Structure 1
Amino acid sequence: MKDPDGIRQQVVTVLKQQFFIKWQQEGPARDHLVSRRTATFKAKPVNPDRWQETGWDWCFKSSWVQAQRRHEGEFLKDTQGPGVINLLVYDTAMIEDSNDSTVFGRRQCSSGDPMDIINAFGRQARRQNAEFVQHTGTQQSSEIQHAGQERLEGMLLDPRRPMADSQQTCDNRERRNLVVAWANSSFDEATSPCDLQTHLLLWQQAFAAVKYIADKGICHRDISFRNVRVESLNHVRVCDFDMAMVQNSEASGANDRTGTVAFMATSILGPERRKYRPVYDCESVFWLCTLELLCRIGVGQTRENLANMMGPGRSISVIRSSKQSIVQSLTRVNVKKKAVWLESYYNLAAPKDWSLLCCLAELAKEFHNQQYEIDYEGAEEFESTCFNRCIEIINQYVEH
């Protein structure tokens, strides 16, 4: 369909409302319905209501379910408010017949039979000698349409594709779509160029936003730079509730240790299985602020700890130890005096970074005092006030 500028665009339908989509932001380059990875696109309504933004101010997100859990759109609907990304619409598409159009080509299987997606893709691609166009048209470049054998082999070995034994049944496939507001910058991208006061306010907003979600009875469980975003007017917006769960709920459809490991609460990385609690989300916001700052100013041992936390292939025990090492270093910071030893851990050349480090050190001392590394043992009062306490600490530096 052509948009108002006369440019042909792909159109998707979510709950009977049509949207143009383009500029894929995340997910595999091929048809996003083939891969189990989530894909996101910039979107705009074909026929917007009067109150809707008419430009490319929306985000279309599509995925299919690997484990049965509550629709992300339901969590967003229940938490709409300050600091949460604006939800426009969401729906679910069930794939129930034997001609499953979400698989490349038309893989035939009897109802209830397992379907090996990567093998179906490989056979079809080989038959067509890799000269194909994806069925939804999300990727139609000449590079994809006329790929050679070397390109084909790379695509078949792409680690983003489902593993060979990843199977779904033909009558048990569920594709989930939603459209939310577009928040332009990830948390680390937005905070880096800010002045000190704006920087601190963004930290404060992050704690306040996740507190609001917790007050609604929801644990987010996947705090990260990409999932805590900042709009153009420096407003924090939490998004991506794929891993969210209702507090005190046993069955969430996702593991207890989930999310982006560098941002996870430290005690979750221990050998004991933990029931997820709001204080873990609060600690994740602490790591959000910590990693945002230290990735810019960390040197020496700090840089090594960051590499252990955020690099590929690190064991859980190494990541946990690196987190404890970072907190230990922060608790040594004397906020009243810039000691010489700091130069071996932090580059404090930028004037604002000393104030940010002092604020971060106070937060680290609070979590350390509350036994963060042994699951907040004996810290019941802190668990109920953790978000407010962190906001108060940051506020002391905002007021300065």
Structure 2
Amino acid sequence: MNIKLINLVVISGVLAACAPMEPTESVKPKVTEAAEPVRDAGLGVWYGPASLNTVTRGIRDDFLEQFTDTANWPTVYGETAVFKQFIESLGGEKYSDEELKQLATFTREAGLKCAFEIGALRWDPKLYGEGSGVAYAAQEIKVLQRWVKAGGTVDYLSTDHAVMWNVGLCLQGAKPMASYVKDPDWRVVMDEVVDSLAMIHEEFPAAKIGMIESLGYFSVGDTYTTTDPGCIYPIDMEEFLATAQQKLGERGVELDHLHIDFSYQDCRYDGRNEKRLDFGRIMAAEAIVKSLGLDSGIIINAFDDFSYVGSNTVQEKEKAQNAAERSASAVDNTLEYFDGYVAAGGNPDTWIFQRWQPYPDVTGPETVRDTDMGVARLLVNKLKARSKVGTSKVEGP
């Protein structure tokens, strides 16, 4: 997520025509009476389809039906070890209790581990400063408990820019929190995040805890500094992660992973002067993550060219007339991003095929190219080819 998107994201939340392909066989999850199935990590794929409608922020009309029928996504299903969701999808009345139970039962019987991207800390004029971490954790624990009550598991929890989101609220754009918190120190903010995660981990001790932080906030390696130097003071990424490890460790919480969120448009921004995608920031960050002994993950996605203008996304007010063209553009950009990352030497422990962008705006099936499942299928097939040839450069679908 580009650093300059912070105000739009705060307001709108994280954003969650087609050429037919060859038919595929249905693969149904099988469960014995003795135990739930256990999946091999395989290619290391986490699948996070965009379940939220960009306009209403409700669950997409086609999501539950498509996702819980593996005939719609047999290739992706066969290689997915972890199903990832935003905690936002569990809130309010987005799912009825019965629908949530249906989704939880499917994931459990399919042997899918479940990951959630959580806030861990989100400041607003009524909740900020000392004690905000514990207060926010109580809110998110309640939401996650609804999933557990429905029969789901909580296996991974990844914070969604939990430190720098709040620093950005004070320093960037309209600066909505500037009058409440002056000169925010990221270490102080991190203390609140650590309090939050310690409380959440106590409630869900089996869950592995990880982080996502936008690379644009940080100084990474010898070349890359913040992408918004006029507003955000540079923070050394290695120091940031080492500090997070230490502070969490002191509370008995192991930091398991750092998933890199720096998409196609962000790489295009870094390479704007050379008119290319620049993956150098990602490569430097990946090296740091691995040097600290953390699981390194890469989130593979891209906006379409129509929804993304300069450093701002176009917020959807209604379904666009050119939705098919925009879906195709998003798929093209995502595939270009994957190929560029691999060619640059990218070698993560975990591949996260996750979308919050408005397009593709159709969930599936995977036999249709310009759908969420369709682009995930293409990416899985690229990974399969890569694992067979043992090379960093992969061509073809």
TM range (shorter): under 0.3
Give me the TM-score of the superposition, normalised by structure 2.
Answer: 0.23
Higher Rg of the two aligned structures: 1
Q: Identify the structure with bigger relative contact order (alpha carbons < 8 Å, sequence gap 6+).
A: 2
Give me the TM-score of the superposition, normalised by structure 1.
Answer: 0.23
